[in-house]
Amino acid sequence: MHPILRIVGIGCVFVMMTVAWFVLGGIMVERTNSQQNKLRGQVSDLWGSPQVQQAPEFTFHWQTERTDVSTEKVDGVEKVVHRMVTVPHKASKDPNSTKVKVGMVLDQRLKGLMWYSLYDVDFAGQWTYTHEGKHSGELDLSFAFPNAQGLYDNFQFVVNGQERADSLKPENGKVSLRMPVAPGDEVTLEVRYSSRGMDEWRYSPSRGVANLEDFELAMTTDFDRIDFPAYTMSPSERTQRPEGGWSLAWRFEQVVTGHGVGMVTPQQLQPGEMASSLSFSAPISLAFFFVVLFILGTIKGIDLHPINYFLLGGAFFAFHLLFSYSVDHLQVVPAFALSSLVSVVLVISYLRLVVSARFAFVEAGLAQLIYLIGFSLAHFWDGFTGLTVTVLSIITLFVVMQLTGRIKWSEAMKRKGPNKPEPPAPVTAVRAGQFEIPSSGE
């Protein structure tokens, strides 16, 4: 087959495989989005949503009296009337101290093609308010739950050492208690509960900018990979726990801020996103594999037909197809290992028959390990995928340039005609005793 026609045929095979991979990638994106929209709501209803715990609100209510002067007509005579009027007042108050303890336990769940980063949280908070005003009145203590539809086990609402949770009725996702206070009184509120959430947990000291005094929040996790949500403060201290996880602390004597404190739970590799990403990047790995095979074939005089390339491309496609439809039944790593093994066996067992066992196991096998398995493994290193592929591409370019530096491509690409058989040698006369064998020309 003419080398130019072979290149055109290989190019057609590459285009067909690229179309197949883009179709597979699109199907995986659609499956992932469909399952995410369907299952996330179910998981949220069953387990919980991202939680934002607001600090309790302290609202002081008091009354003052003032004299209201007005003019009235009595029997046609205007008179000045003085009345005492009671004026209600209220003001939001910041706590004088905040002590919060949070324990987070990770519980990741796989449903379909999506991993959900769920967690159990134990919350315990203590807030102290000292009434420094000159008026007596009533203090309204209001505590809002992170989610009005959430589950809060072992809920406690303790005011000045007295449990009041049994007498409170939640309304609009919060509980409230009003109590009298006089100048100099100190009020201590303690709240505890256990709950469940998803993805991240936050504590917000206020709904806006607040003046935090004597603030301390201590958090423990049972997971090592930690991150903090946007617009939250970094911890003042962090210590790795011997049993795994971290002990974190946020401590401030006095700070004015609108930022809160939070934790983002670790995220697993999403199988659906991984499968679609592998499919969309697969043409790059196949292109390198085809180039290496073509160069090796030119150097070693191996005649691989475009049909051979088509079947090899199918073996590459089998990796992504098997991974895409096994990853929602197996863990990502076992599904990847199984798909890799199947594809490698297909390529090596085929080229063993087409070329030779040595070529199949050494040249082709090594190329497949680099350009299929290696390129695919790069997707597991979040943030380094592009760099890994770039480095492998540069190394490949260097090796190919070294191997082909002495090839005369103008001669290598010329068509070689079929070898013509040499004419048979003439038979000469041979005398053997009294007999004579005539030559063919006689």
332 and 244, same structural domain?
no
61 and 186, same structural domain?
yes
Task: Supply 82's token pair.
Answer: 């003085």
Residues whose CB falls within 8 Å of the CB of residue 232, separated by 6 or more in sequence, listed in order: 202, 259, 260, 261, 262
pLDDT at residue 412, as a whole number: 67
Is residue 67 classed exposed, middle or buried when 0-12, 13-18 and 19+ CB atoms within 10 A define those classes?
exposed
387 and 344, same structural domain?
yes
295 inside domain: yes
Which range of 28-37, 266-275, 310-319 scores highest in mean pLDDT? It is 310-319
273 and 129, same structural domain?
no
pLDDT category at 435 given cuts 50, 70, 90 is: very low
Of 264, 289, 314, the domain-final residue: 264
Please tell me the total count of domains within the chain: 2
278 and 255, same structural domain?
no
336 and 312, same structural domain?
yes
60 and 205, same structural domain?
yes
CA atoms within 13 A on the CB side of 315: 25
Q: Compute the CA torsion angle 189, 103, 264, 249 (nearest 10 deg).
A: 70
417 inside domain: no
Of 264, 284, 305, the domain-final residue: 264
Measured distance CA(219)–CA(121) in Å, rounded: 10
Position 198 pLDDT exceeds 50: yes
Q: What percent of the chain has pLDDT over 90?
A: 42
- Mean pLDDT taken over the chain: 84
E strand or H helix at 137, and its extent? Answer: strand 137-144
Of 212, 242, 264, the domain-final residue: 264
421 inside domain: no
Segment 189-207 shows an average pLDDT of 90
432 inside domain: no
Phi first, then psi, for residue 150 (nearest 5°) are -80, 175
pLDDT category at 319 given cuts 50, 70, 90 is: very high
Measured distance CA(254)–CA(301) in Å, rounded: 79
pLDDT at residue 89, as a whole number: 87
| Nearest in space to 20 (alpha carbons), one of 308, 313, 295, 219 | 313
Q: Which domain holds residue 98?
A: 51-67+81-264
Segment 197-226 shows an average pLDDT of 87
| Nearest in space to 316 (alpha carbons), one of 273, 379, 395, 369 | 369
233 inside domain: yes
- Which is more confident, 148 or 336? 336
46 inside domain: no
315 and 254, same structural domain?
no
List 176's β-bridge partners, or say none: 142
pLDDT at residue 39, as a whole number: 72
241 and 106, same structural domain?
yes
Q: For 47-70, what is each residue's pLDDT tens digit?
A: 778 999 999 999 999 888 888 877
31 inside domain: yes
148 and 14, same structural domain?
no
Position 125 pLDDT exceeds 50: yes
pLDDT category at 4 given cuts 50, 70, 90 is: confident
Task: Supply 23's token pair.
Answer: 């179709």
182 in Cβ contact with 176 (< 8 Å)? no
131 and 15, same structural domain?
no
438 inside domain: no
| Stretch among 155-164, 236-245, 391-400 having the lowest mean pLDDT | 391-400
Residues whose CB falls within 8 Å of the CB of residue 122, separated by 6 or more in sequence, listed in order: 101, 102, 103, 192, 193, 194
Q: List the CATH number of the domain containing 159.
A: 2.60.40
144 and 99, same structural domain?
yes
Measured distance CA(19)–CA(72) in Å, rounded: 91
- Which is more confident, 35 or 290? 290
Global pTM exceeds 0.85: no
